[in-house]
Structure 1
Amino acid sequence: MDEFAPRPGEFQALPRRAPRPARPEFRERRSFRAEPADGDFSRPEPARADAPAFRPRPEPRSEPRAERRPVGPAAGSEPWPTPWVQLKYFANQPMFYPAMIAGSSPDAKPGDLVAVFDKEGRRFGSGLWNPRARVPLRVLHYGEEAVGEELFDRLLERALDLRLRLLALTENTDAYRVISSDGDGMSGLVVDRFGDTLSVEVHSLGMFQRLGRLLPVIHQRLGTKRQVISVDDFIARVEGIRFAAPADVRSVKIREHGVRYEVDFASGHKTGFFCDQRENRRKLAALVKDQRVLDCCCYTGGFALAAKVLGGAADVTGVDLDEKAIEQAKRNANLNQARIDWVHCDAFSFARQMQRNNTRWPVVILDPPKFLMSREEELEGRRKYEDLNGMGMNVLEPGGLLVTCSCSGLIDMEGFEELVTRAAYRLGKRLQFLDRTGAGADHPVMANCLESRYLKVIWARVW
């Protein structure tokens, strides 16, 4: 045994480093030649030919900086129409946050329709003002002309014309979106029609104050009789909305392409029913005749019932963790005299069990709730979408149809495609994109608010 080898239980000592050599004596580095050729010592020449020429440091500014321009009309100019709001800079978008606003006139009250000016004092629009809100300014009109409360009548008429004349939605359904917030230029207000009832979701104090002007007109044009108004507790607190929703309307029955559904306003999500998937449900029905279909995150059975009743699928299974949603899905199946297997279970747990049982489906639908609510949740939300799509691919027959959805506005279509592709790559599967769709035309998107294109649906084959 080597005498320097460590004994059992001992640590081996590291060898000492060799001592560093003594540091050489410091020599002053000369940047310039001591004796210029011309004898002028005032501007020494560089020691190297390629060195930059000597430049004296500029003198500090003696004149004061220009003062920040005061908020409001410039001295000597015409007064602005009140109430008004001035921006720090112009942005072609409907929503303006606190950091983007320079100030407002003293008479601008929460909920007022205000004239909007840029930092140069040019008027470019009108909007709803609420200084205490997370979105203090919502621009509804663009242009230099003055507008009043009649603006809301014009915006409403434009929205109704789209649904009733251009899309003619009433021919195939009595469930559709009547006002789609920013998509219809009415930021902060969502109105859905379900049969004889209007389901109203409010995100803005200014829009809430004008419901008495808007809703009677909608009732008169559509022939509806009842209304359900909902305001999220957090939004009501931030916006300053005082509202107690009456519970006189609990549910209503609707029709969509021959399929009947019951909308439960008391326990339903959002406005009660996801009519944004209407055209995607019809598209699915055309592809599943005599097929076996798995609808994961089925909610109240929208896709499952469309596949069975409208599409003639041989066998349909719907899975959801929300017990109330499953109970509602069963009632919807009874309305249509359709036999569907409903499973109250977490989609991931169900898929793992089916994978162990070697059970596969030729058609799998993934329509989960919103996984990504804010930028702070982006990494976690993207991981959930990738995991969910991997789970769906594991229970899909080779060459089967995958219909996967995302309603997170913070992920665009290209980003969603990337997540689905990564899920397939991770599992060693081949992915063939067939189509990309979104919400129906009753959920329009304004060109200056593309982030309202929230719904993304990918149709693909996997093997």
Structure 2
Amino acid sequence: MKRTANKPRRSKPAPPLSPEHLQPRGLGLPDSPLPQLPLRSITRNPLLMRSRLGTFPRDASHGDLVELLSDDGTTYGHGMFNPRAEIAVRVLNREPKPPARSWWAGRIEDAIELRHDYLKLPDVTDAYRVIHAEADGLPGFIVDRFGDVLSAEVFSLAMWQRAAELLELISQRLETKHLHLRTGPRTLEQEGFEGEPESTEELPESTVITENGVRYHVDFAQGHKTGFFCDQRDNRAFIASHAAGKSVLDVCCYTGGFAVAAKVAGGASEVTGVDLDEDAVEVAKRNAKLNRADGRFVHADAFPYMRDILSGGRRFDVVVLDPPKLIHSRDEFEDGRKTYFDLNRLASQLVASGGLLATFSCSGLMSADEFHKIVCSSIPFDRRGQVLYTRGAAPDHPIAAECPETAYLNGLILRVT
């Protein structure tokens, strides 16, 4: 999917922090008192911007645990400090007692209990999110499980420093065998550091996971994010439940998640997937073959591909549109908004009368209301759209009530006539 537009110039990022700031840290408390950082204003959001903070303590270094002070000088809580970042503090607790190793272990245990005891995910899959950053009380740190592999993505310098020990605790609890660790896509710009991917020596290049009876390859070397999008699990099952005997087009299909589920679990008559990532398309073909399913997967730009189909008169009973993140910063909002509109305008025209359009946005800077407006306004005047369902991420990707940024995935299911 290629799209060009005039974009504001970005200032060149400062050089990355020196390697000494990336050295691993333990989860225990330091022997010396914690540096103290006063708050200018109180908020429940665990992501504290520099403007909310008082004078930075001189004895605090990059990644340090700091004590946060209220206006009256009493302890407000504790957080991880990075003077290089705009989000200068990521709050861990709001208690007088600082978070020791037992606190970290407790956060991990609580997260696993949600996935195992409440959601009962191991009954339907061996691939799920174990830690969802702020929503599980561990800001800037996400971990997915893929069978015997833990795959982590880190967005915070302080969490990068502590990732090895955190992953070891999770691995011991879940009895996994392999670890894969990587940084988020913009850690240099946002946190001031770059980290090389790390993994256990025996980590396989890929593994096979099972989700609701459908098998998928997860490629750790070439895959995006942690390797597979577990957040769409329930949405894949939903589409499969409406796919029996239907033709399905999966636009921006990545490794064919929706298409393969529709064919294997849903009994679709035919499925077609298209993506600009050639490596992902090859994995999609492997996923279809893995499940002994027929499917057509095309390496192509979504815009000209949909235009060609439209001009050829072909229509599909179900069209899924799940593009990659289009808005990474507020500077990109307008361009991203227009791209979402154009994609949905084309996709909605490819839906056969009475068929379904399932459309998604993973751009956290776009609200659910804004996405709803864009999608509804994109329906052509000669078609009628009916919003049947609003969708989001699977519940192993919970939304933190105090951190709206964790509500990043928005979806709509429309009937188009």
Which category of TM-score, normalised to the shorter sequence, fits these structures? 0.7 to 0.9
The alignment partner of 1:371 has SS state of coil
Residues 401 and 461 of structure 1 are in contact (CA less than 8 Å); yes or no, is this contact kept in structure 2? yes
Q: Deviations over 1:275-312 (max 9, x none)?
A: 00001111111111011111111000000011000000
Over aligned residues, Cα RMSD in angstroms?
1.8
Match of 1:455 in 2: 409
Superposed, 1:66-77 pairs within 5 Å as none
Q: CA separation of 1:118/1:349 partners in 2, compared to 1, >3 Å: closer, same or farther?
A: same
With the length of structure 2 as denominator, give the TM-score of the two structures.
0.88
| 1:316 aligned onto 2:271 | yes
Q: Deviations over 1:116-156 (max 9, x none)?
A: 11333232211111112232100011233444343212211
Match of 2:72 in 1: 120
Stretch moving more, 272-281 or 81-90? 81-90
Stretch moving more, 347-356 or 101-110? 101-110
The alignment partner of 2:142 has SS state of strand
Q: Aligned pair count?
A: 383
Match of 1:365 in 2: 320
Q: CA separation of 1:322/1:436 partners in 2, compared to 1, >3 Å: closer, same or farther?
A: same
Name the amino acid aligned to 1:311.
G
Please say which structure displays the higher CA radius of gyration: 1
| 1:433 aligned onto 2:368 | no
| 1:298 aligned onto 2:236 | no
Match of 2:198 in 1: 245
Residues 86 and 102 of structure 1 are in contact (CA less than 8 Å); yes or no, is this contact kept in structure 2? yes
| 1:355 aligned onto 2:310 | yes
Counterpart-to-counterpart distance in 2, 1:394 and 1:442? 33
Match of 1:139 in 2: 91
Counterpart-to-counterpart distance in 2, 1:421 and 1:177? 31
Counterpart-to-counterpart distance in 2, 1:261 and 1:112? 40
Counterpart-to-counterpart distance in 1, 2:395 and 2:105? 21
Match of 1:8 in 2: none
Name the amino acid aligned to 2:76.
F
Counterpart-to-counterpart distance in 2, 1:423 and 1:152? 46
Counterpart-to-counterpart distance in 2, 1:133 and 1:361? 47
Stretch moving more, 117-126 or 153-162? 117-126
Residues 178 and 200 of structure 2 are in contact (CA less than 8 Å); yes or no, is this contact kept in structure 1? no
Query: What is the CA distance between 1:221 and its match in structure 2?
Result: 1.8
Residues 113 and 148 of structure 1 are in contact (CA less than 8 Å); yes or no, is this contact kept in structure 2? no
Query: What is the CA distance between 1:459 and its match in structure 2?
Result: 0.6
Residues 82 and 105 of structure 1 are in contact (CA less than 8 Å); yes or no, is this contact kept in structure 2? no
Counterpart-to-counterpart distance in 1, 2:34 and 2:273? 56
| 1:182 aligned onto 2:149 | no
Name the amino acid aligned to 1:283.
F
Residues 288 and 312 of structure 1 are in contact (CA less than 8 Å); yes or no, is this contact kept in structure 2? yes
Q: CA separation of 1:446/1:234 partners in 2, compared to 1, >3 Å: closer, same or farther?
A: closer
Gaps of 5+ in 2: 1-31
Counterpart-to-counterpart distance in 2, 1:177 and 1:206? 21
Residues 293 and 317 of structure 1 are in contact (CA less than 8 Å); yes or no, is this contact kept in structure 2? yes
1:269 to 224, 239, 242: 224
Match of 2:16 in 1: none
Query: What is the CA distance between 1:232 and its match in structure 2?
Result: 4.0
1:414 to 352, 369, 392: 369
The alignment partner of 2:54 has SS state of strand
Counterpart-to-counterpart distance in 1, 2:194 and 2:157? 6
Counterpart-to-counterpart distance in 1, 2:34 and 2:199? 36
Name the amino acid aligned to 1:401.
L
Greater RCO (Cα-Cα under 8 Å, separation 6 or more): 2
Match of 2:213 in 1: 258
Name the amino acid aligned to 1:438.
G
The alignment partner of 1:111 has SS state of coil
Residues 433 and 458 of structure 1 are in contact (CA less than 8 Å); yes or no, is this contact kept in structure 2? yes
Q: CA separation of 1:447/1:262 partners in 2, compared to 1, >3 Å: closer, same or farther?
A: same
Gaps of 5+ in 1: 1-79
Stretch moving more, 140-149 or 349-358? 140-149
Q: Deviations over 1:378-430 (max 9, x none)?
A: 11111111111110111111111110011011111111110011101x44321
Residues 191 and 201 of structure 1 are in contact (CA less than 8 Å); yes or no, is this contact kept in structure 2? yes
Name the amino acid aligned to 1:156.
I
Q: Deviations over 1:337-388 (max 9, x none)?
A: 1110111111111111111111111110000011111111111111111111
Q: CA separation of 1:348/1:197 partners in 2, compared to 1, >3 Å: closer, same or farther?
A: same
Counterpart-to-counterpart distance in 2, 1:168 and 1:284? 21
Residues 149 and 177 of structure 2 are in contact (CA less than 8 Å); yes or no, is this contact kept in structure 1? yes
Q: Deviations over 1:172-206 (max 9, x none)?
A: 10000000001111101010001100101111122
Counterpart-to-counterpart distance in 2, 1:334 and 1:145? 54
| 1:191 aligned onto 2:143 | yes
Residues 204 and 239 of structure 1 are in contact (CA less than 8 Å); yes or no, is this contact kept in structure 2? no
Match of 2:36 in 1: 84
